[in-house]
Amino acid sequence: MEIIHGSEDNFDNLINNGIVLVDFYADWCGPCRMLATQLEALTNERNEGKIVKINVDEAQELAKKYGIMSIPALMLFKDGKLIDNKLGYMPKELITNWLEENK
């Protein structure tokens, strides 16, 4: 997996192909920083899919569109369609299980 920092301008293009895990976060958010380390570890173990990080402070309209009221918020897209979401910190093992369940 690769981590891509997305924006409102390229978001639709980034999620339209395959499995994409989107992490809505903010730099000032402690649980978001903890989750970032888990996502980094995940990239070393999985080849398929990608992770798109969206900073809610920089992409407020996108956060509003997807109803982000709390962060970190993870959304799973398949070929551009939202298929599931989770709120809050998750360890790498739970993220891996979640991805496997939604292949």
Active site residues: 29, 32
Q: 61 lies in a domain? A: yes
Q: Which domain holds residue 34?
A: 2-88
pTM, two decimal places: 0.94
Read off the pLDDT of each residue in 21-45 and give the average, rounded to a whole number: 95
19 to each of 35, 61, 94, how far by Cα in Å?
Answer: 19, 23, 17
Number of domains in the chain: 1
What is the three-class DSSP state of 91?
Answer: coil
* Cβ neighbours for 33, distance < 8 A, ≥ 6 positions apart: none
Q: 95 lies in a domain? A: no
Q: 74 lies in a domain? A: yes
Joined tokens for residue 99 = 């991805």
Helices (H), 1-103: 11-15, 30-43, 60-65, 92-101
- Exposure on the CB side of residue 58, measured as CA atoms within 13 A: 14
Q: 94 lies in a domain? A: no
Span 49-92, pLDDT tens digits: 899 999 999 999 999 999 999 999 999 999 999 999 999 999 99
CATH number at residue 28: 3.40.30.10
Q: 69 lies in a domain? A: yes
Q: 46 lies in a domain? A: yes
